Chains A and B, each alone.
Chain A
Amino acid sequence: MANEGIGAAVRRKEDYRFITGQGTYVDDINRPGQLYAVFVRSPHAHAVLKGIDVSGAAAMPGVAAVFTGADMAANGVGSLPCGWLIHSRDGKPMVEPPHPPLAVERVRYVGDHVAVVIADSLSRAREAAERVEVHYEPLPAVTGPAEAIGAGAPQVWEAAPGNLCYDWEIGDRAATETAFSKAHHVTRLELINNRLIPNAIEPRAAIGDFDRATGEYTLYTTTQNPHVIRLLMGAFVLHIPEHKLRVVAPDVGGGFGSKIFHYAEEAVVAWAAGKIRKPVKWTADRSESFVSDAHGRDHVTTAELALDENGKFLGMRVETIANLGAYLSTFSTSVPTYLYGTLLAGEYTTPAIYCNVKATFTNTAPVDAYRGAGRPEATFVVERLVETAAHELGIDPAELRRRNLIPPDAFPYATPVALQYDSGNYAGTLDAALKAIDYAGFPARRDAAKAQGKLRGIGISAYIEACGLAPSAVAGALGARAGLYEAAEVRVHPTGSVTVFTGTHSHGQGHETTLAQVAASRLGIPIENVEVVHGDTARIPFGMGTYGSRSLAVGGSALAKALDKIETKAKKIAAHMLEASEADIEFKDGKFTVSGTDRSLAFGEVALQAYVPHNFPHDELEPGLDESSFYDPVNFTYPAGCHVCEVEIDRDTGVTRIVGFVAADDFGNIVNPMIVEGQVHGGIAQGIGQALLEGCIYDESGQLVTGSYMDYCMPRADDLPSFTVMTQETPCPHNPLGVKGCGEAGAIAAPAAVMNAVMDALRPLGVERLDMPATPQRVWQAMHAAATPLAAE
């Protein structure tokens, strides 16, 4: 059992079904008598909906119904809610416009939902959808966040003058101004955090079903958090009592945040199923996903770092305009505020920080959390500033960091932007990464490359993130409309096998294995005797789902607490069976022993007795062995580390090749190192994608130009190198497993590492500004526009 417990690279229990094509994803599910839904979507970025004529579509063969926003409104259907209330600097609450599942009056982005056609085959639904006649009166559109705030920009919502949703701040403005007034040097950068499309390979899908015998609705959906969808859709949108609503997230093909939110299509298919009394199935095309999945990032920032003559950071000042899109998606408002501004201390002792964020509406798809959610944006600001400052001052970038890192004996460390970091060894991960990439040997490699006509650069990104969302009291104080605890139930069966029911959801993260490792090692039973159940609200306790690198930190902690309760109860039973006092029972390696004797019972014997309680003292000891726990974290967790990237740029083509990428991360205790490495690899790939390849582009009229995999550059295997990843373990001091979470780290750290490397490579040419993605075209243009002409060879 030594190779099955905490810390072991156990091969995944869930793999068998995936490698044999027996996974059950939503589109694989077919309900008897099901109908198929196709959405009519706006081809205009902004238009008045003058009228919709569905009569032609409704008359087509096989069409069961055509519904519009007016139909849903007449039926009392509510708005898709936003879960996080943000207040502006002046105390006013954010502007919160309505978000009907099907548009009424106006459409506000290309892809906005206008009508739904439901027919007995997908092809008939598609054909009928083309016969829905919509009379649009196009209006001018605005797509960029900086343009939206500017004077004279088209207004997306009347209630939001200047397209401003909120004007938020964090930190001490006065103290920061003072710090800047004393600065020996100020580094200033204009940074764009490019808009991205998450693009999980499984497109979104949903099936609504209604059982007329019981009045119960079932929604199968590609979600990361089935209970959250059940609560939001049931309570706020469709007004279905929760006990009559079951949400099932079966196998889900990747999420990365984009499958957290409660989407219009979920509400529409569930509502329609109730109306028509037949199952209604919808699966997005990829091009439909492009226009309608929540997008990520999209910040325009001016950032400044003030330093003294020794390179000590005195203050940081950040002004950001963040794009929220046309409507407020579920988490959206929290991403450029409490998941962003609070991370601007980074790993450093910067004493004064001030951040102002203006969030804007635009005629684009709603923007919400995407892997890292605010923390990649913060890390990009901090690490680009630090690296640039180093080069401006002529101080080695690693050395400049060392002078400012929070030392290991300073914890708990209260930052000037609200967080209290719990534990960390930032110099340790910095040193490990630099050693692994052979930082000292870089100058020689650069010279060798130069002789070959290539430009080499090296870049560091020392990051920290706040994960394990979230302590409910803190979240509530900051505007969250829900708590962020997690739940687990451990059901021990009479013959000693165990089912763990968890409120987290695995859409690639391997919880069926890692949570089983936690339970099996605690109970001293083989891992194949533990089954982990997730995703079905009819089976699992109420949990908030998986995002924010929370599943092990919060979900695993709930499991640990439930296991504590199991151990306590099992000891009671063992004490009764062994005729000893509870205090004398020890539990170790799956055995209950009366201390000081060799009288013992195996876990399985106790389990059986729990369910065959022929001689229990029933007023003191209930039968059964089945315990739940809800765990609310006391703090965020703070994974941190250092990623270093080395690039080689071709001067003729502008192509950037990554010749080395090292990640040294501290995730606290590690349950399964193989799975952790996989999470880091995947995150790094997405971070490299943001830095070099990906960018969502809307044109001036609001058309999504990058609307397919033809035009939006997804990282492929030959775009990426193999990675060198390693971990250090500074356990989290405040949760039972001592874990910090690892799912987002790669996406958080990598963009800054890559761009710092690219800028380093191009610095000799005088390139001072280059925005992500640093595509070959952009790099080539920057090289040719730069101050220092390329020398003739």
Chain B
Amino acid sequence: MPTVSMTVNGKSVSADVEPRTLLVQFLRENLGLTGTHVGCDTSQCGACVVHVDGRSTKACTMLAVQAEGKNVTTIEGLAKGDELHPMQEAFREHHGLQCGFCTPGMIMSAVELGMRNKEPTEEEVRHWLEGNICRCTGYHNIVKAIMAGARAMSA
């Protein structure tokens, strides 16, 4: 079994894994970081989105060994201690979540948009969310949250 090493939420981690282990399985099962979720098996739903070297990535569509040496940030790594990331605050303020299952992936995806685009329009946000499915909210408040969160990120 190969050994894979990477940095996750600022900590160096290392483990022996079967080569077929997906990154999302490594995070959830080896590291106990269950905030990243699995919602589908065709890479559509986006519940598994994390950041790998700063880019939003579907952890279900990447092998753990492909993340060798990389910097991974999960939803658990967004807040700084008690201080929530502005995008997390925005989701709560604007009721951008209901059951919460799509939320970690939604927030991680939104954070990358906020890094690239300080003032996304509604259309830009909706287009960006092609890879994130929500069944609860109808996206209305998610869009509001992301527009506010992106602006708060650059404030």
- Interface: B30 (CB within 8 A): no
- Interface: A615 (CB within 8 A): no
Pairs A–B under 8 Å by Cβ, sample size 13: A14-B100, A18-B97, A19-B84, A198-B135, A253-B37, A287-B41, A677-B141, A678-B136, A681-B140, A685-B137, A717-B130, A720-B138, A746-B138
CA distance A251 to B129 in the complex (A): 24
Q: Is the CB of A510 within 8 A of B98?
A: yes
Q: Is the CB of B99 within 8 A of A681?
A: no
- Interface: B76 (CB within 8 A): yes
List, in ascending order, chain A residues with CB within 8 A of B139's CB.
681, 685, 716-717, 720
- Known A19-B97, A19-B107, A510-B98: A201·B133 in contact at CB below 8 Å: yes
| Range class of the B interface residue count | 35 or more
Q: Give the contact stretch, choosing among B51-59, B61-69, B120-128.
A: B120-128
Q: How does the 8 Å CB contact mask read for B94-120 relative to A, with 1 for contact and 0 for none?
A: 010111111110010000000000000
Q: Is the CB of B40 within 8 A of A723?
A: no
**B residues with CB within 8 A of A:** 18, 20, 28, 33-42, 44-45, 47, 74-76, 78-79, 84, 88, 91-93, 95, 97-104, 107, 122-123, 125-127, 129-130, 132-143
List, in ascending order, chain B residues with CB within 8 A of A123's CB.
18, 20
* Interchain CB contact (< 8 A) of B35 among A12, A15, A21, A508: A21
Which 10 A-B residue pairings sit nearest by Cβ, starting from the closest?
A21-B35, A253-B101, A18-B100, A685-B138, A508-B98, A508-B99, A21-B75, A681-B138, A709-B44, A717-B129
Q: Is the CB of A202 within 8 A of B39?
A: yes
Q: How does the 8 Å CB contact mask read for A664-676 relative to B, with 1 for contact and 0 for none?
A: 0000000000110
Q: How many A-B residue pairs have CB under 8 A?
A: 180
CA distance A12 to B145 in the complex (A): 14
List, in ascending order, chain B residues with CB within 8 A of A720's CB.
126, 138-140
Q: Is the CB of B79 within 8 A of A253?
A: no
List, in ascending order, chain A residues with CB within 8 A of B107's CB.
19
CA distance A716 to B79 in the complex (A): 27
- Interface: A734 (CB within 8 A): no
Name B's interface SS.
Answer: loop
Q: Is the CB of B35 within 8 A of A682?
A: no
| Range class of the A interface residue count | 35 or more
Q: Is the CB of B101 within 8 A of A201?
A: yes
Residue of A nearest to B139 (CB): A717
Q: With both chains docked as a complex, state the minimum distance between the C-beta of B96 and any C-beta of chain A, in angstroms.
A: 9
Q: Is the CB of B101 within 8 A of A25?
A: yes
* Interchain CB contact (< 8 A) of A201 among B39, B42, B84: B39
- Interface: A452 (CB within 8 A): no
Q: Is the CB of B135 within 8 A of A682?
A: yes
Q: With both chains docked as a complex, state the minimum distance between the C-beta of A693 and any C-beta of chain B, in angstroms.
A: 12
- Known A25-B101, A716-B130, A718-B127: A20·B92 in contact at CB below 8 Å: no
Q: Is the CB of B98 within 8 A of A717?
A: no
List, in ascending order, chain B residues with CB within 8 A of A708's CB.
40-42, 44
Q: Which of A21, A199, A708, A714 has the most CB of B within 10 A?
A: A21
List, in ascending order, chain B residues with CB within 8 A of A717's CB.
125-127, 129-130, 132, 134, 139, 142-143
Q: Is the CB of B97 within 8 A of A201?
A: no
Q: Is the CB of A286 within 8 A of B141?
A: no
Contacting B at CB under 8 A, from A17-75, are 17-25, 27-28
- Interface: A285 (CB within 8 A): yes
- Interface: A88 (CB within 8 A): no
List, in ascending order, chain B residues with CB within 8 A of A681's CB.
137-141
* Interchain CB contact (< 8 A) of B138 among A22, A23, A253, A682: A682
Residue of B nearest to A507 (CB): B99
Q: Is the CB of A19 within 8 A of B92?
A: yes
List, in ascending order, chain B residues with CB within 8 A of A709's CB.
40, 42, 44-45, 133
